[in-house]
Amino acid sequence: MHKKELVLSSIHLERKVKVSLILPPHYALSFRHYSVLYLNDGQDLLSLRMEETLHQLYAAHEIPPFILVGIHANEQRIQEYGTAKIPDYAGRGSKAGKHTHFVLTELKPYIEQHYRAKSSPEYNYFALFWGGLSAIDIVWYHPHVFPKLGCFLVPLVAFKSPDQGYNEATDRIMGARADPRNDQKPALEFWLHTGTEDEVSDRNNNGIIDSIDDTLGLIEELEKKGYRRDGEIVYREVEGGRHDQTTWGKVMPEFKWILRKKKAKQTQLVSSPCAIYFSLSLSLSLSIMGSPSPEN
């Protein structure tokens, strides 16, 4: 493997964006084109033990070779990672639409122009905490680009805080945007993860921490849309798992799921045309259930 560091000048984000690339084994000796995995919070590659994990999976022949693209966040992270057009009650995510445009119109074309990246519409999205919110927002509205989503942790973004009279039935952005008349069901697959020690917050006082409660709530909403548990939805709850890179690093080898493809009722790992946007830790707003498409 070979790691490279890039700096791209983004018109949309109005800043220079650091990008880490990990090229697959024998990339320089090959003429083939590769799948691509896009990763929010690329600055955490080291703490996530990503290179170590890739070495192990490649050595065991458990994954096909692919290009990993890690997008570094900066001090504007909380604004750039969110749901386009739908900030939460604290106004976070105000630049999420700009991040979406950066990924789709600047970063992705650059990678495909300068590296041997496949351009087939089989993509996934992977990110960290607030970056996961960005991931699901982009994936839901661009399934033709990213048809799979992997997320570690799903703390829900809401219209109101508990101090503002938060009501679970009406103030989850996911629930408020859900419209039973909206039959939109993109051809997506989801890998979701939580840890039993992610946090201690329990908004609705039901004895279940918010990260788990919100993830199960997301799964419930997805099932209403017709997605199947243990089919299009895979949920991994880690006993003793925490909201930190150490926990995520240990579970990271499971991201090989994102590279597998269903064929004739069998699950296989493939190196077919595929690019990936995988997401660590999903802060969820969900625009996923019918909010306006983030085009601006």
Task: Reduce the DSSP state of residue 188 to 3 states and report it.
Answer: coil
The predicted pLDDT at position 129 comes to 53
Integer Cα distance of 19 and 21 in angstroms: 7
Burial class (CB in 10 A: 0-12, 13-18, 19+), 146: buried
DSSP track, 224-257? HTT--BTTTEEEEEEEEEESSHHHHHHHGGGGGG
List the one residue out of 287, 282, 289, 290 whose CA is nearest residue 150.
282
Side chain identity at residue 56, one-letter code: Q
List the one residue out of 281, 250, 277 whose CA is nearest residue 70.
277
- C-alpha distances (whole Å) from 123 to each of 59, 117, 220 are 24, 12, 24
Domain residue extents for the chain: 2-262+272-289
Integer Cα distance of 287 and 174 in angstroms: 6
The predicted pLDDT at position 182 comes to 55
The predicted pLDDT at position 167 comes to 57
Q: Which residues contact 262 (CB under 8 A, 6 or more apart)?
A: 268
The predicted pLDDT at position 127 comes to 56
Under 8 Å between Cβ of 157 and 284: yes
The predicted pLDDT at position 10 comes to 98
Written as tens digits, the pLDDT of the chain (296 aa) is 999 999 999 999 999 999 999 999 999 999 999 988 888 889 988 887 889 888 988 998 888 899 999 999 999 988 888 777 666 666 677 888 999 999 999 999 999 999 999 877 665 556 565 556 777 778 878 888 888 777 776 555 544 455 555 555 555 554 444 344 456 777 888 888 888 888 888 777 888 888 888 888 888 888 888 899 888 888 888 889 887 877 877 777 776 776 665 543 434 444 333 444 555 443 333 333 344 344 44
Tokens, residue 188: 């997506």
- As a CATH number, domain 2-262+272-289 is 3.40.50.1820
The predicted pLDDT at position 214 comes to 80
Integer Cα distance of 225 and 174 in angstroms: 13
Burial class (CB in 10 A: 0-12, 13-18, 19+), 199: middle
| Buried residues in 227-263 as b, exposed as e (16+ CB within 10 A) | beeeebbbbbebeebebebebbbebbbebebbbbbee
List the one residue out of 118, 150, 100 whose CA is nearest residue 275.
118
Residue with tokens 């243990």: 230
**The model's pTM:** 0.77
Integer Cα distance of 19 and 35 in angstroms: 17
The predicted pLDDT at position 207 comes to 87
CB atoms within 10 A of CB 290: 18
Tokens, residue 246: 């150490």
The predicted pLDDT at position 6 comes to 97
Cα-Cα end-to-end distance for the chain: 37
Integer Cα distance of 286 and 53 in angstroms: 30
